[in-house]
Amino acid sequence: MSTLDELRERALAAIADAHDLDALDQVRVTFTGKRSELAGVQATMRDLDAEGRKALGQQLNAFRAAFQDAFDARQRALGEAALAARLESERLDLTLPPRRLPPGRPHLLTQVEEEMLAVFIGMGFRVAEGPEAESGAYNFDLLNIEPDHPARQEMDTIYVDGYEDVVLRTHTSPVQARVMTTQAPPIAVVVPGRTYRADAVDATHSPVFSQIEGLYVDEHVTMADLRGTLLAFARALFGSDRDIRLRPSFFPFTEPSAEVDVSFHGPGGHHGWLEILGAGMVDPNVLEMCGIDPERYSGFAFGIGIERVAMLRHGVRDIRELFEADARFLARF
Amino acid sequence: MKLPLSWLKTLVEFDLGVEELVEVMSHSGLEGEDVTTPGAGAAGIRTARVLHFEPHPDADKLRFVRVTGDGGDGEVEGVCGAANFEVGDVVAHALPGGHVPGVTGPDGAKGLDLSSRQIRGLTSHGMLASPKELELGEDAGGILVLPPDTPLGASLDDLIPVGEPVIEIAVQADRGDHLSMLGVARDLAAILDTTWRAPEVPDRPSAESIPVRLRTDGCASFHTWVLEDVTIGGSPLWLRQRLTQSGMRPIDVVVDVTNLVMLELGQPLHAFDLDRIGGPSLTVREAADGERLVTLDDVERTLAAGDLVIDDADHPISLAGVMGGLDTEVVADTRRVLLEAAVWEPTTIRRTSRRLGLTSEASTRFERAVDPAGAARAVARAADLLVSLASAAATGSDVVAREPAPAWAQRPSVRLDPARVRRTLAVDLADDVQVALLERAGATVAPMDDAGGSADGAGLSDGAGSAAGHLDVTPPTWRRDLGRQADLTEEIARLHGYDNIPDHLPSLPTTGGLTPSQRAERTARDLALAGGFHEAKTRPFVGPRAFAGGLPSDGRVLLANPLAQDAAAMRPSLLEGLLQAVRHNHGQGRPGVALTELGRCFRPVDDPLGTALDAVIGPRWRWTAPAGEPIPLQPRVLALAAQGRKLGEGWLDTEATWSVWDVLDVLDRVARRLAPPEDPTWQLERHAITREGFHPGRTAALVLQGQEVGVVGQLHPEEAERRDLPEPVVVGELLLEPFLAVTPEAGHRPVPARTLVRHPAMTVDVALVADDEVTYATLERTVRLAVGPLLDELWFFDEYRGAQVGEGRRSVAMRLRLQDPARQLTDADAEAVIESVATAAAGVGAALRR
């Protein structure tokens, strides 16, 4: 066996033995580098005659080709193995929770309020606002709630100390008066906001709650318009299979007035009605006091309790949970 | 108002079950709130006479009793704990095997089954029942003693409708007529299109009663009857039941009858002991300031001018319409009774009742207006009942009335345009149908002639214009709520049925949507949510130790009638509510929580917070009353509070706690997003401040145009300790009002696009060393100015303190991204930038670190 044959056997064995890319590179240096045995064989070239050089040259080329093939193959194999090892080492359990701070959630009341507003905005209503500590003139007088009327007493008003006539508004209706005294018809506004009553806190009462008020004043507004608007609202919010029913009621600022119920289908085919809002045709006294001619214009108004809708829709049993700011509650919706 | 079913049926024809009836009523303005059946379950109870009693030999407080039903079932023995009866009294005997419903056992179970049992060695067969045990009253202190003429041996069921349904309705504020059985019966008759009937009453005796002088328009009419030989005693079973079902307490037959008639007919009555009235005549007049009267409840009342009194020529004997006087009240030996029924002015009664804090069944009815035509019937009805139940004789009567009737007692006719009704309701109701509906309600309707007068000659038009086709509607005397066309429209709609009103979705002539300012408010909240803060809604009431928050002041908006002392003021800042919520979550064992709230804070009109806001945006954010009077400041605020570890769903960061940076990040982002774009005057500055409750080294005021509009900081360790919260606790709030007010109606001007530079960017890091007093803001501003237009972006990336820079100093490192739109930058440009930064830094007491 010639030297080169023997060298090739050893080189190929060393390549096969190399277990990583560094070792493989070391094999390359050992067998083909400047101080390798190959270099020694190559150096003998100059002592040979032309024929001998040619024969050795062919042997050397064959050696190099064989070495390179084995080297490349081994390098590829080792590279693939290294990549596979890396990928294996980088394995993640993606069922772990992501280590990111999630965004906070809007309050349930905000979500319900915005959903309700969106329905009315889609119909053409704009959004109006007003103060929570409100002048009694807007909260009562301009809404036809006379100082001596029992309705005024029934409102359980919280009064602000040190001012002639300022209360925590008992409803969002004063914004009706603010809008009507500053804008000319046609007027179509919805008014979300906080309202207050001197109610002790329990599972169903809160001294603070929120309403969405609606007001539409124009020529020839009818009670059918009111019913149609509220029906469309109830179906948008609760489902297209719902119906509404109007029952006579009393509010000082509307005449005729109605309580409005929405139908529901309970378990076992049970059918019933849930009261969700109060509504009516704007009382001509209110229009007149707010500077709108009741002979020419008519209007409807309604007021919806946001807490009540939220509690009905989501099965919240205790109104206190809405104001406790327990993160378990807040994050749920 | 509570409506016993059998009582209602004596006044109106109907053929509906209770459920159906409640449904119909609730659909027509008589909203049913509850149906109860007091006395239901009572069984095996009969009337009996006490034959004999003696003290129990082994128990001081018990009696051994023998009673008989006289019905052939002989004598029965028992043991009784009450002492309010005599031999011969008629009592209610619950027999063994029977049941009394009004007892609550020691296990909480309701009702008691009776048997024969041993009580201290004697056998007791059943029991003698108290009113409470039979649910015929609240009285549990003694047994029920019935009038002597009560049939004996009769089953309770045969005497009264035991356990019948009682429907409770909510009475609307304008429907005082619903505060009586007759009023409800009349309305039901209108609703069901059937007939009602009032009880028959006798004619009044022609003999005179005590003379009455009516000296005020506060009383429309005053009716009296004189009853002699009155026997005061207990009321019969049926009367006791009626009162108890209606929620009133039986007292004696005279008081009970006046109460019964009030419940039945809606007209309150008063009974005087005629022998205890001092003078020879009565005067109905307005009280003078400071007059005194001891009312039935034994309280001395000081009267005010305008209160209405009945005077016996000596002194006031009754606070008219509210409560009678103590010294003329009917007592056990009263023999002569003066029955009074009067029609009082609602407003006056309400004012008196409110001023004295004295609400009675009478005042409740008068202030909602009674039927001015109902008093005569009521007083006659009461007299008639007392003649039969108290063996009295009616010997005289009198009526005095104001002529003409005061305006408040009149029910003027109303002009009705049937076409307008059709338009309002969008229902094609023919004139004659409208007339028929109004007549069902008790109104009289006549067509009007062209001149506006009633065609039959009565009444005048109350409006201008042609009256052709209009109707002249006179409401029934008991319907004060039907005073205008709108009221009649509702009545027509109600009786026709609201269900018959069609639905029509109007196409509004307005465009809907949020204004840019309203959208900005939502953006502010969204940015807080994006920062990981959950939105809370807290009650805005605070106590005296509330956290003062941004722009602290002593100014509080106080409540005149707070629900509690720790809720006596409106919040001056949102932070107190949020901190309490943070404490709540910590108390629930939560490792950390971050909360935000967007709402109004409340300050007095002259609070410095108002001055600061005015300086930025003028006074347009302030609300006023109609005539421009100021009302409390209530600007909108975005507030944040956080404490403890950061956590996500199912993940807890054991390294990171909420820090002041998290709060600052949100508020800074909000200010930048909401401010007018690229307007340097709307950039929020941060000034280090010390403030009570805050960490002295970790608190900054948020300053806009030189005015504080917010605060960010960590709670002082002592404040955290006081709130029982582990540190750090971080809070911040920002007044949104300037940003919302500066948002134009059409939104801010559009942000102009910037040409993207295509030449490669160059990155240069600079580090400046300066004393700690030199703020980062100063250093950054200095670098920006020094670099000039080549600066594309600037990032802070490191802060170093240590030996290399010296005590009280720090090194701040920034990475600059440089670009020129016209050419590629070279090393020479970088050198020039670094040199100009070095020069500028020296100007603010900083040195470039080379």
In contact, B651 and A97? CB cutoff 8 Å: yes
Q: Which residue of B has its CA nearest to A100?
A: B648
Q: Which domain holds residue A136?
A: 108-332
B529:A104 CB<8 A: yes
Residues A60 and A119 in one domain: no
Q: Which residue of B has its CA nearest to A190?
A: B512
A123:B588 CB<8 A: no
Residues A269 and A306 in one domain: yes
What is the architecture, at CATH level 2, of domain B43-159? Beta Barrel (2.40)
**The domain spanning residue A263 has which CATH number?**
3.30.930.10
Q: Tell me if domain B43-159 and domain B411-499 are identical in fold.
A: no
Phi, psi of B764 (to 5 degrees): -130, 130
A222:B423 CB<8 A: yes
What count of CB pairs under 8 Å joins A to B?
284
Selecting from A121, A154, A323 the residue whose C-beta is nearest the C-beta of B173 gives A154
Total of domains in chain A: 2
A105:B486 CB<8 A: no
CATH number of B411-499: 3.30.56.10
Residues of B in contact with A176 (CB under 8 A): none
A225 touches chain B (CB under 8 A): yes
Residues of A in contact with B486 (CB under 8 A): 255-256, 281, 283-284
Provide long-range contacts, Cβ within 8 A and 24+ apart, for B109-114: B111/B41, B114/B44
- Tell me which of A25, A58, A89 is where a domain ends: A89
Is-cis flag, bond preceding B4, omega within 30? no
B578:A325 CB<8 A: yes
Selecting from B350, B503, B648 the residue whose C-beta is nearest the C-beta of A227 gives B503
Selecting from A181, A256, A322 the residue whose C-beta is nearest the C-beta of B493 gives A256
A41 touches chain B (CB under 8 A): no
Read off the pLDDT of residues B724-756 as tens digits, 9 standing for 90 and up: 999 999 999 999 999 999 999 888 999 889 888
What pLDDT sits at residue A45? 82
Considering only residues 119 to 138 of chain A, which have any Cβ-Cβ distance to chain B shorter than 8 Å?
120-127, 129-135, 137-138
Residues A53 and A119 in one domain: no
What pLDDT sits at residue B150? 87
- Tell me which of A31, A54, A89 is where a domain ends: A89
Chain A nearest CA to B687, separation (Å) = 28
In contact, B633 and B602? CB cutoff 8 Å: yes
Higher-scoring residue by pLDDT: B651, B660: B660
Other CB atoms within 10 Å distance of the CB of residue A155: 21
A255:B563 CB<8 A: no
Chain A nearest CA to B473, separation (Å) = 17
Query: What is the arithmetic mean of pLDDT over A230-259?
Result: 94
Domain membership flag for residue A97 = no
**Three-state DSSP class for B311?**
strand
Selecting from B426, B507, B632 the residue whose C-beta is nearest the C-beta of A133 gives B632
pLDDT band at B459 (very low <50, low <70, confident <90, very high): very low
pLDDT band at B455 (very low <50, low <70, confident <90, very high): low
Domain membership flag for residue A40 = yes
A3 touches chain B (CB under 8 A): no
Domain membership flag for residue A99 = no
Residues A186 and A48 in one domain: no
pLDDT of B828 higher than 80: yes
Domain membership flag for residue A101 = no
Residues A190 and A44 in one domain: no
Read off the pLDDT of residues B514-553 as tens digits, 9 standing for 90 and up: 999 999 999 999 999 999 999 999 999 999 889 988 888 8
A224:B354 CB<8 A: no
Nearest Cα neighbor of B126 from B154, B163, B159, B99 is B99
B516-741, what's its fold? BirA Bifunctional Protein; domain 2 (3.30.930)
Nearest Cα neighbor of B201 from B284, B111, B247, B265 is B265
Chain A nearest CA to B481, separation (Å) = 10
Residues of A in contact with B429 (CB under 8 A): none
B539:A207 CB<8 A: yes
Residue indicated by tokens 């509510």: B577
Q: Enter the tokens of residue B49.
A: 């006479």
The CATH classification of domain B762-848, taken from the options 3.30.70.380, 3.40.718.10, 2.60.40.10, 3.40.50.300: 3.30.70.380
ipTM of the modeled complex: 0.88
Domain ranges of chain B: 2-37+165-192, 43-159, 212-408, 411-499, 516-741, 762-848
Read off the pLDDT of residues B99-140 as tens digits, 9 standing for 90 and up: 999 887 777 788 888 888 888 888 888 899 998 888 888 877
Domain membership flag for residue A103 = no
B499:A104 CB<8 A: no
Residues of B in contact with A229 (CB under 8 A): 505-506
A330:B634 CB<8 A: no
pLDDT of A13 higher than 50: yes
Read off the pLDDT of residues A179-226 as tens digits, 9 standing for 90 and up: 999 999 999 999 999 999 998 899 989 999 999 999 999 999 999 999
Residues of B in contact with A154 (CB under 8 A): 173
pLDDT band at B453 (very low <50, low <70, confident <90, very high): low
Residues of B in contact with A149 (CB under 8 A): 173
Residues A38 and A142 in one domain: no
Residues A204 and A244 in one domain: yes
Angle subtended at Cα B542 by Cα B537 and Cα B548, rounded to the nearest 5 degrees? 95
Residues of A in contact with B595 (CB under 8 A): 325, 327, 330
Residues A154 and A71 in one domain: no
Residues of B in contact with A153 (CB under 8 A): 354
Ramachandran category for residue A32: left, alpha or beta (phi over 0 → left; psi -120 to 50 → alpha): alpha
Angle between helix B237-245 and B253-265 (nearest 10): 50
Read off the pLDDT of residues B332-389 as tens digits, 9 standing for 90 and up: 999 999 999 999 999 999 999 989 999 999 999 999 999 999 999 999 999 999 999 9
Residues A206 and A233 in one domain: yes
Residues of B in contact with A148 (CB under 8 A): 346-347, 350-351
What pLDDT sits at residue A38? 83
Angle subtended at Cα B269 by Cα B267 and Cα B271, rounded to the nearest 5 degrees? 170
Residues of A in contact with B368 (CB under 8 A): 150
Question: CB under 8 Å to B261, separation ≥6 — which residues?
Answer: B267, B269, B378, B381, B382, B385
pLDDT band at B457 (very low <50, low <70, confident <90, very high): very low
Residues of B in contact with A162 (CB under 8 A): 558, 604
Domain membership flag for residue A185 = yes
What pLDDT sits at residue A97? 85
What pLDDT sits at residue B118? 86
Q: Which of B539, B586, B666 to mutate to test the interface with A (most CBs of A within 10 A)?
A: B539
β-sheet bridge partners, residue A167: A134, A159
Residues A11 and A47 in one domain: yes
Domain membership flag for residue A216 = yes
Which helix H or strand E contains B541, and what residues bound it? strand B541-542
Question: CB under 8 Å to B705, separation ≥6 — which residues?
Answer: B615, B616, B681, B682
Other CB atoms within 10 Å distance of the CB of residue B598: 21
The CATH classification of domain B2-37+165-192, taken from the options 3.30.56.10, 2.102.10.10, 3.40.1190.20, 3.40.50.720: 3.30.56.10
A245 touches chain B (CB under 8 A): yes
Q: Which of B33, B421, B427, B534 to mutate to test the interface with A (most CBs of A within 10 A)?
A: B534
What pLDDT sits at residue A55? 87
> In whole numbers, what is the pLDDT of chain B averaged over residues?
92
Selecting from A99, A259, A325 the residue whose C-beta is nearest the C-beta of B651 gives A99
Which CATH superfamily is B212-408 part of?
Phenylalanyl-trna Synthetase, Chain B, domain 3 (3.50.40.10)
Residues of A in contact with B367 (CB under 8 A): 150
Residues of A in contact with B646 (CB under 8 A): 101
Q: Which residue of A has its CA nearest to B555?
A: A162
Domain membership flag for residue A100 = no
